[in-house]
Amino acid sequence: MSTPLRDIVIVGGGSAGWLTAGILASDHRVRDNPAVRITLVESPDVRTIGVGEGTWPSMRDTLRRIGVSESEFIASCNASFKQASRFAGWRSGEAEDHYYHPFSAPQGFGEVNLVPAWLRLGEQARFADQVSFQPRLCEHGRAPKQKVTPEFAAVANYAYHLDAVKFGDFLQAHCVDRLGVRYQPAHVQGIRAHENGDIAGLETPEAGTIAGDLFIDCTGFSSLLLHRHYGIPLERVSNILFCDTALAAQVPYADPNDPIASHTLGTARAAGWIWDIGLPTRRGVGYVYSSAHTSHEQARETLLDYLRRSGATVEPEPRRIELNPGYRKTFWHRNCVAVGLSAGFVEPLEASALALIELSAKMISDDLPPNRELMDVVARRFNDRFRYRWGRIVDFLKLHYALSGRGEQFWVDNRRADSIPDRLRELLELWRFRPPGGRDFPDTEEVFPAASYQYVLYGMGFRPEPPSHPLRLDDPEAARRGLQTVAQTARKYLAGLPANRELIEHVRTQGLPRV
Ligand SMILES: Cc1cc2nc3c(=O)[nH]c(=O)nc-3n(C[C@H](O)[C@H](O)[C@H](O)COP(=O)(O)OP(=O)(O)OC[C@H]3O[C@@H](n4cnc5c(N)ncnc54)[C@H](O)[C@@H]3O)c2cc1C
Q: Which one of 341, 350, 389, 448 would you pick to mutate in the ligand 1 pocket, going by the greatest count of ligand atoms within 8 A of its CB?
A: 341
Ligand 1 contact via 222 beta carbon (within 6 Å): yes
Q: Is 62 in the pocket of ligand 1 (CB under 6 A)?
A: no
- Please write the tens of the pLDDT for every residue from 291-327: 999 999 999 999 999 999 999 988 899 999 999 999 9
Residues 251 and 285: beta-carbon distance below 8 Å: yes
Residue 227 zone, left/alpha/beta (φ > 0; ψ -120 to 50; rest): alpha
Q: Beta strands of 133-227 (E only): which ranges?
A: 159-161, 182-185, 190-193, 199-204, 208-211, 214-217
* pTM, rounded to two decimals: 0.97
Contact 55, 160 (CB under 8 A): yes
Which H or E run contains 288? Answer: strand 283-289
Q: Does residue 212's CB lie within 6 angstroms of at least one atom of ligand 1?
A: no
Residue 484: predicted pLDDT: 97
CA distance 201 to 189: 11
Work out the burial of residue 240: count CB atoms within 10 Å of its CB; fewer than 13 is exposed, 13-18 middle, 19 or more buried.
buried
pLDDT tens by residue, 401-437: 999 999 999 999 999 999 999 999 999 999 999 999 9
Does residue 351 have its Cβ closer than 6 Å to ligand 1?
yes
Rounded CA gap, 60 and 37, in Å?
26
436 lines ligand 1 (CB under 6 A): no
- CB 219 near ligand 1, within 6 Å: yes
Region of residue 407 (phi > 0: left; psi between -120 and 50: alpha; otherwise: beta): alpha
What's the CA gap between 376 and 333, in Å, rounded?
8
Q: Is the CB of 348 under 6 A from ligand 1?
A: yes
Q: What is the distance in A from the centroid of ligand 1 to the CA of 15? A: 6
Nearest ligand 1 atom, CA 339: 26
CB-based contacts of 395, cutoff 8 Å, min separation 6: 421, 423, 424, 427
> For residues 164, 510, 155 and 351, what is the CA-based torsion angle, rounded to 10 degrees?
0
- Cα-to-centroid distance, 268 and ligand 1 (Å): 25
Q: What is the DSSP letter of 348?
A: S
Q: Ligand 1 within 6 A of 248 CB?
A: yes
Name the residue at shortest CA distance from atom 6 of ligand 1: 52
Q: What's the gap in Å between 51 CA and the centre of ligand 1? A: 7
Q: Compute the distance between CA of residue 378 and CA of residue 396 in angstroms, rounded to an integer.
A: 27
Ligand 1 centroid to Cα of residue 63, in Å, is 19
The per-residue pLDDT for 15 is: 97
How far CA 102 is from CA of 87, 99, 126, 132, 163, in Å, comes to: 11, 10, 13, 8, 22
Regarding the beta carbon of 266 and ligand 1, being less than 6 Å apart is answered: no
Query: Considering all CA atoms of the chain, what is the largest pairwise distance in Å, rounded to the nearest integer?
Result: 71
Q: Is the CB of 184 under 6 A from ligand 1?
A: no
CB distance 364 to ligand 1 below 6 Å? no
CA of 211 relative to ligand 1 center, distance in Å: 24
Mutate to test the pocket of ligand 1, among 20, 46, 77 (most ligand atoms within 8 A of CB): 46
Residue 354 CB–ligand 1 contact under 6 Å: yes
Report which protein residue has its CA nearest ligand 1's atom 17. 52
Parallel, antiparallel or unpaired: strands 332-333 and 336-338: antiparallel
Q: What is the pLDDT of residue 342?
A: 98
Model pLDDT, residue 469: 58
Answer yes or no: is the C-beta of 276 below 6 A from any ligand 1 atom: no
Is 16 touching ligand 1 by the criterion CB < 6 Å? yes
Mutate to test the pocket of ligand 1, among 9, 49, 191 (most ligand atoms within 8 A of CB): 49
For CA atoms 290, 238, 89, 156, give the dihedral sign: negative
C-beta 188 within 6 A of ligand 1: yes
For the chain, list residues with pLDDT below 70. Answer: 1, 467-473
Inter-residue contact 139 to 495 (CB < 8 Å): no
19 in contact with ligand 1, CB cutoff 6 A = no
* Residue 14 beta carbon below 6 angstroms from any ligand 1 atom: yes
Inter-residue contact 339 to 215 (CB < 8 Å)? no
